[in-house]
Structure 1
């Protein structure tokens, strides 16, 4: 960084002054200086204003503290020497090397993951760098997710050197990750707890599916109910537990045909072994709601807030639900119409505990929303119209369709023909089911054993389930966790260790940015980290290898509805500064890059 000083001297009865900039010439690697402003004879001005000299000193002090001004001065110095440098070796074919992995590496080292993997590699007496291999897989999964083979081909795009790790080493790293998954997740959890005030009093659990481009099942890959409607391809289930920041606490991989309801307790029990203190509240969707799960949650000293299907209620309970008694209402301030209501009911079934303890009687909270009613009715009417079209399409098309969506409103009936011995089967519309669905439109139910929270607080906690849905969205879109290109069980499990580590780092970085008032989507953060680049050039003196900072300058901001554009390099530097990465000057050397980025990676 250039330094600025006021130079003044007396010659006879006259005072002379100038503002001098001193900087290090990146080509000659020697200190140099130049005059920024020649003030000349200031004797008359000093007579007019006795504080004129002090005002000049204050002006220089302001220039020193103005970082943007100092950067402009640095660039001016670069432009002065640029013609001789650029004409030597820089041209349009110079590669652009990304260094956006630097802040990810800073987080990696801050969480102590580098030390753990180095020790693990040393204990296994590996001839290659396990830490470098795993970090490259995790960072690549965030910035430019590809298969392992494609990831290896992308090594020359990065400023840091990862080509010392071969493709075989990357696959071997997956075996190590699969075998060490419990220890790695525990280490990650401990490190995150040290860095942020992690709130584990409320945790969220859900399940999703990840498919393979494969049709042959094995011990882990299997066809099942796919959330992405890929029923003909094999898949695995991921059960994920996160905190309120969206950072993973624990996870587990299950065979592709495993029922969702059977996945909850293995993850929760593993989490409780690591964090036995406190009584966390587990929030889950209705697919995880079963008497067995709820009783085991209480046995593991956990409370629960779980969505509940109102269509499972008895006729007596439905009568209480649809009665006008006990509701709390909210009205629209503009129209005066009722927009939302809530009531509490006795839960139909008690949750069993140990034989020596009394059963817990949870409460059922029901809400109705005008917005949800409009959404439900729109979906119902769309499915009903589709069901009408399916009836006219014939039984063959109906039999080949999924037994969900519009198909649920069709029922098979037998029509007897006096001229034929066997009755003919056909489909007709199930109007009773359609009218029953209309009756429940807009309603939503949940059950809980939390006694210290109000109904409104419990409902707001359940609404936070969007956080884990967002984690799944990031894993499937930004991190490209699927399709999965590895096939052995160890490699599959190792692949998910990489993806969960990538999700944890991305969520941790987003949390740190929010603390500084910076909020970007996962997609935008990746765009920012991939924007700053440097291009290698060769100096004319002493053949010193220099790097010219390049990169994209502007991009339309996706979060904003206006047409304003943002300077990607400036925004990227703001993001990197949060994690202790200093901005690079326009022209720099390897030594300066290493110092400013401050990461332990080969360049």
Structure 2
């Protein structure tokens, strides 16, 4: 066998490994194709290394062994990326995604793994290739790849692989799913159809943003995601993502949908009821109807963990798809729980608000003072001709009665009250998912301005997060006695050295071996 440089009609050069048998030449393997001289030289080196793997020369190996004591940094390779995260990339099903171009699959995989080891700018990939692959990759090539990466069918294939993997580790049953929305801002002040200035959960009020809706299991394992315009009301995203979720995966046994109070609006409840979904939605008791508040005020909450249940027959008014007014009769349960810690917080918030209002009352309040003010609910308008405001002691007393009480609305009458509460409280893992995406993987701020690149950025982060969660799951099951974040440092220092037959791993230390065993041992899901 030998290495051949083949010139193509396009002007590029293909590097191939050729075998000759009975006078006939056969392409054994195509290493790659490029029109860049530097890349061609790299492909030739790669081809010669591959040739030694396919047809090892004993004399070359003996010569290398004799020189083994003279190893230099040029002979060393960092192998932890491929050894650990490359394995998990395959485990969650991403290895099977068809990119048609093998080089595109390599760049996709490298972008995903580099985000785990070197989170931040895509241009970190240049450093990643240099350190881990001993190769050079041009900046323009990264951006060209990002331009063509995001396609609806590709996103669907990625989500299906990850959904199937999540379903497998959940014993093929998704009984409960959690939905939440976060905002991701841009280091730019320019808006477009996708990047819009809207309500920011991160306080970036003057920055354009997008919204990311994420479906996960209650353990935080990813199921699906969608990207929305930055100024879209988050409560209007639930129906859209549920419809897409159902169409993509054709789920027969629909999971219980758990979401925060931002999703508690009539349209969402009507959709969930009419489409056979059970739901658990958080409800802020102090914002409910006076009738419900009166019922709750008459209940006794002596200790933490006390639970009460109220049955609610509710008539919901809404407009159907033809804009015709309709009503829906619903039966719900309101699960109520008490926390003394939450009660102290509620009291502190109210006391601070009253301090502010009393200071303002001495100077005479105007209507403009009441806009979006927490304390407005404590005021009455004086009946005199001049508009003046005064504190209403009854409103303050009624508010005090609801301190520390949290509510959950559900249409599920089978779950026990403590199960309803436990399901919702597991949202911490989903919120942790957003924290991981925003901090550990540095999903924000986003520097891209082209829509396809923005969506490619989110897709890469979704896959990286999926690998992160699978890595976390396996490490936890193995009970390795080390802080989780430090595992990444141990992976970065897994080394091997180049030989004519490939890369030979160096002996691992105790922790590295435990990490390796956690990833490669056969585990029950």
- Corresponding residue SS for 1:210: strand
Question: Scaled by the length of structure 1, what TM-score is found?
Answer: 0.65
Deviation at 1:90, TM superposition (A): 4.3
The C-alpha deviation readout for 1:355-414, integer Å capped at 9, x for no partner, is 999833111111222122123333444555567788999999x98x9976xx53369999
- 1:29-59 per-position Cα deviation (integer Å, ceiling 9, x unaligned): 67xxxxxxxxxxxxxxxxxxxxxxxxxxxxx
* Equivalent of 1:480 in 437, 442, 448: 442
> 1:100 maps to what in 2?
81
Q: Which moved more, 1:132-141 or 1:339-348?
A: 339-348
Asked if structure 1 preserves the Cα contact closer than 8 Å seen for 2:129 and 2:137, the reply is no
C-alpha distance in structure 1 between counterparts of 2:233 and 2:218, whole Å? 26
> 1:132 aligned to 79, 102, 106, which one?
106
The structure 2 residue matched to 1:317, chosen from 289, 292, 298, is: 292
Number of the residue aligned with 1:113: 94
The residue aligned with 1:367 is 337
CA shift digits 1:436-464 (9 cap, x unpaired): 55443201111101121111211111111
Q: For the residues of structure 2 that align with 1:215 and 1:394, how far apart are their CA atoms? A: 38
Match of 1:307 among 277, 282, 290: 282
In structure 1, distance between residues paired with 2:473 and 2:420: 24
Listed as ranges, the gaps of 5+ residues in structure 1 are 1-26, 31-77, 330-336, 416-422, 552-568, 583-603
Give distance in 2, aligned partners of 1:199 and 1:512. Answer: 20
Task: Give the TM-score taking structure 2 as reference length.
Answer: 0.73
For residues 457-472 of structure 1, the aligned pairs below 5 Å read 457-472=419-434
Please state whether the residue corresponding to 1:258 is helix, strand or coil.
coil
Q: What is residue 253 of structure 2 aligned with on the other side?
A: 278
Partner residue of 1:489 out of 451, 457, 478: 451
1:571 corresponds, among 475, 496, 511, to 511
Any idea what SS the aligned residue of 2:198 has? coil
8 Å CA contact 1:238–1:251 kept in 2: the answer is yes
Deviation at 1:579, TM superposition (A): 1.8
Q: 1:238 matched to which residue of 2?
A: 212
For 1:409, what is the secondary structure of its paired residue?
A: helix
Aligned partner of 1:408 in structure 2 is 374
Query: 1:292 and 1:432 mapped to 2: Cα distance?
Result: 34
Aligned in 2, Cα 1:171/1:445: closer, same or farther, shift over 3 Å? farther
Q: Deviations over 1:480-534 (max 9, x none)?
A: 000001111111111111111111111122223333345877634433433x243
For residues 247-258 of structure 1, what are the structure 2 equivalents within 5 Å?
247-258=221-232
Query: For the Cα contact (< 8 Å) 1:250–1:270, is it kept in 2?
Result: no
RMSD, aligned α-carbons: 4.3
Which residue of structure 2 aligns with residue 63 of structure 1?
Answer: none
Partner in structure 2 of residue 509 of structure 1:
471
> Structure 1, residues 330-353: CA drift from partner, whole Å, max 9, x if none?
xxxxxxx72332211122624689
The residue that corresponds to 1:38 in the other structure is none
Is 1:342 aligned to residue 307 of structure 2? yes
Partner of 1:41: none
Counterpart contact for 1:474–1:522, Cα < 8 Å: no
Residue 187 of structure 1 is aligned with which of 161, 184, 207?
161
Question: Which ranges of structure 2 fall in alignment gaps of 5 or more residues?
Answer: 1-58
